[in-house]
């Protein structure tokens, strides 16, 4: 005996359900935050490039005897030009974008807000990436005492941080604080602390060798 009762239509999926709206909001926020971070990286990189020009100018004023010498990069010591400054800012932009990506990944675990958060990130970035900048580049130690050169260029990291963090959070409407999931939050803190300790040790040995080599 057949069942002639009409089939019930399938229950439609509620595209406007709370969960769907939550996912949509999260995606839009992520896209906005990512775009804000990239723009902040460009701006902060340009500022850091300008800071590098100021550092080089200070080196020139401290030891004018080297004016006219051409560096390995093809720049003439003591000559400040608009083209050279723009080139340094462009280099800062190129390196500033990866720095912004690092900030977007690490920002939930970086303490503080505003400029303080940026300063903390700048210090973390300094510890993690300093070996890439200092390793084998004797141009940093050729013209002035090593500690002066290291200090001048190390200050570029906090300068970058105090620009990239506030701009990212302002434009991206970021939410401060670590993830709500305790396991994820603690895992992030452990990974960040481990990376800082590891690279700090590498920095120590690198700077020890640099000071032994260049005085």
Three-state secondary structure call for residue 70: strand
| pLDDT attached to residue 124 | 94
The structural domain count of the chain equals 1
- Compute the radius of gyration of the chain from its Cα atoms: 25
pLDDT, tens digit (0-9, with 9 covering 90-100), for 133-154: 666 555 666 677 777 877 888 8
| pLDDT attached to residue 214 | 60
Residue 11 lies in a domain: no
| pLDDT attached to residue 78 | 62
Residue 185 lies in a domain: yes
| pLDDT attached to residue 147 | 79
Pair 37, 165: CB distance under 8 Å: no
Residue 61 lies in a domain: yes
Q: What is the DSSP code (8-state) at residue 5?
A: S
Q: How close are the terminal C-alpha atoms of the chain, in Å?
A: 100
Residues in contact with 34: Cβ distance below 8 Å, sequence separation at least 6, in sequence order: 104, 172
Q: What is the DSSP code (8-state) at residue 65?
A: G
Q: Which residues constitute the domain of residue 90?
A: 20-214
Residue 15 lies in a domain: no
Residue 7 lies in a domain: no
| pLDDT attached to residue 207 | 79
Distance set, CA 139 to CA 81, 142, 155 (Å): 19, 5, 17
Distance set, CA 29 to CA 34, 171, 176 (Å): 8, 11, 13
Q: What is the DSSP string of 92-144?
A: HHHHHHHHHHHHHHHGGGS-SSHHHHHHHHHHHHHHHHHHHHHTT-GGGGSSS
Residue 158 lies in a domain: yes
- Which residue ranges in the chain fall short of pLDDT 70? 1-22, 25-26, 64-78, 133-142, 174-176, 213-215
Residue 2 lies in a domain: no
CA distance 162 to 103: 12
| pLDDT attached to residue 4 | 59
> By C-alpha distance, which of 78, 156, 79, 83 is closest to 123?
156
Residue 9 lies in a domain: no
DSSP H helices, the chain, are 18-62, 82-106, 114-134, 146-154, 156-172, 182-214
Q: What is the pTM of this model?
A: 0.79
Q: Which two tokens stand for residue 74?
A: 């093809």
Residues in contact with 176: Cβ distance below 8 Å, sequence separation at least 6, in sequence order: 113, 117, 169
């Amino acid at each position: 005996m057949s069942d002639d009762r009409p089939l019930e239509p399938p229950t439609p999926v509620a595209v406007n359900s709370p969960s769907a709206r939550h996912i949509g909001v999260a995606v839009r926020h992520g896209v906005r935050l990512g775009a804000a971070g990239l723009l902040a990286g460009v701006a902060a990189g340009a500022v850091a490039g300008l800071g590098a020009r100021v550092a080089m100018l200070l080196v020139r004023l401290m030891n004018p005897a080297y004016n006219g010498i051409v560096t390995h990069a093809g720049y003439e010591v003591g000559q400040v030009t608009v083209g050279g400054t723009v080139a340094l800012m462009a280099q800062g932009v190129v390196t500033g974008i990866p720095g912004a990506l690092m900030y977007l990944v690490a920002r939930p675990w970086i303490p503080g807000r505003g400029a303080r958060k940026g300063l903390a990130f700048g210090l973390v970035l300094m510890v993690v990436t300093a070996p890439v900048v200092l390793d084998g580049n004797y141009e940093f130690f050729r013209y002035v005492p090593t500690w002066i050169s290291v200090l001048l260029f190390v200050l570029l990291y906090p300068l970058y941080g105090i620009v990239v963090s506030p701009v990212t959070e302002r434009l991206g409407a970021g939410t401060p604080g670590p993830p709500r999931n305790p396991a994820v939050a603690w895992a992030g803190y452990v990974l960040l602390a481990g990376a800082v300790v590891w690279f700090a040790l590498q920095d120590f040995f690198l700077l020890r060798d640099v000071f032994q080599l260049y005085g």
